[in-house]
Amino acid sequence: MTVLMHYPATIEYMQALVPDSLFGFLQESGLATSGGEAAALLMEGAVCVNHLPVRNPRKRLQTGDVVAVSGSGVVAVFGAKPLASRNARQF
């Protein structure tokens, strides 16, 4: 007898229940385009927080933490406001 178990695709449906979690920040910052990509990057060990590799999606971030994805050349700082566009003039 074969029993088939259907598990929900937790990678796709995992929501950022904790607003300061690494998983949610990866999606909100644009470092990952989806929950699936965020989970894959974490499982691969491609995410670094303050230059240290992190695999725990529930890691709580502190204001000023620098989050990077290996090989992307892009970093995001948790709790920082985006800089104004260089083309925008402020008076």
pLDDT digits (tens, 9 = 90+) for 40-67: 999 999 999 999 999 999 999 998 999 9
Bridge pairing between strands 47-49 and 66-69: antiparallel
The pLDDT of residue 36 is 93
Q: Is 28 exposed, middle or buried (0-12, 13-18, 19+ CB in 10 A)?
A: middle
Give the percent of the chain with pLDDT over 70.
68
Question: Between 25 and 20, whose confidence is greater?
Answer: 25
